[in-house]
Structure 1
Amino acid sequence: MKKQQSGFTLIELIMVIVVLGILAAFALPRFADFSGQARASSIQGLAGALRSASAIAHSAQLATANSTGSTSVTLENQVITMIDGYPTANTAGIVAAAQVDPAGYAATAGAATAGGDITFKPAGFTGANCSVTYTAADAAGTTAAEKASQVVADTSGC
């Protein structure tokens, strides 16, 4: 009487391992760039936060002072320095308004002048083209965009 075989043969087991290896080789590149995608998402999120904070501070200034000449507004018990109706491009301005975490982003020195800018990069990342730049308003600008604050995100190198 012949004994009935149960389970997998060695060849079947090897074939399953080979097929799984091939699938993993094709799937790995798809999931390998999570850190770059995370940095790009972080930059886009910060850009949104800067735009929102700028708009809220501008609205608060218009509501309380009704003048673009005011030099500060108070949001959540924090004084935000303003220039031409929008937060300045420094730690006392847009960084305070957006409550940017200094541990998460490295920032340039910034400027408290009209048209000044401050650039944020993910902390510890040294690559180029992965940043968001806030430019303060400039009432002397020639276009409507220059007269309001601007936020530009660059995620091409994240």
Structure 2
Amino acid sequence: MKNLSNIKTKNQGFTLIELVVVIVILGILAATAAPKFIDLTGDAKASVMEGALGSIESAVSMVHAKSLVQGKATGNNTVIINSLYYAVANGYPRAANLGTGAGDTAANAIGILGLIDIDSSASGDFVVTDATPALIQHRSATTAANCQISYPDSTGSGVRPDITITTSGC
């Protein structure tokens, strides 16, 4: 008869320590490999453009309110904000900067780009085209024309500028 104490049982499976070590190694590999497969920079650039659009919308609303208060809601005029002159068309900020903002002349007034604080320096996020329409593009976009904000002048009395944003190429 066989003695029960002489029977050796085989353990099958892994120990808890082995399982933990494998999970830790897989976690480290996933953390280093995931950024190569998931690129979120386009989403981040699109979010930056949405933030800039929010700044523009706020500036447009404030200048329009100021132009209504000053009785300059029709035609090409200037409004005074913090002792600087801003060019308005039909009560809304003009697209292009026309000057430095010193002196009450439409030819020397600041447009929408002078109202918003965006960094268009060589190290900044944006490339700005000071024209009509004003274009604000993300400097490191995949396709600049598909990652931009376009700000035109107002087309008539009481007509808010049709600001468009494109983020498909950010």
Q: TM-score, normalised by structure 1?
A: 0.71
CA distance, structure 1, for counterparts of residue 118 and residue 82 of structure 2:
14
1:136 to 153, 163, 169: 153
2:134 is aligned with 1:109? no
Does the Cα contact within 8 Å between 2:64 and 2:73 map onto a contact in 1?
no
The 1:89/1:70 distance shift into structure 2, 3 A limit, reads: closer
Q: Deviations over 1:58-81 (max 9, x none)?
A: 110110125423511122332211
Unaligned runs of 5+ in 2: 1-14, 98-109
Residue range with higher mean Cα deviation, 126-135 or 47-56: 126-135
| Alignment match, 2:116 | 98
How big is the shift at 1:22?
5.8
Does the Cα contact within 8 Å between 1:74 and 1:80 map onto a contact in 2?
yes
Q: Report percent identity of matched pairs.
A: 24
Unaligned runs of 5+ in 1: 1-7, 112-116
The 1:27/1:124 distance shift into structure 2, 3 A limit, reads: closer
Structure possessing the higher relative contact order (Cα contacts under 8 Å, 6 or more residues apart) = 1
Aligned partner letter, 1:137: S
The 1:84/1:133 distance shift into structure 2, 3 A limit, reads: same
CA distance, structure 2, for counterparts of residue 124 and residue 16 of structure 1:
38
| Alignment match, 2:141 | 125
CA distance, structure 2, for counterparts of residue 10 and residue 95 of structure 1:
61
Tell me the matched-pair count: 140
CA distance, structure 1, for counterparts of residue 42 and residue 35 of structure 2:
15
Q: Deviations over 1:8-64 (max 9, x none)?
A: 99965762354325643784367x423222211110011111111111111101101
- SS of the aligned residue for 1:73 comes to strand
| Alignment match, 1:155 | 167
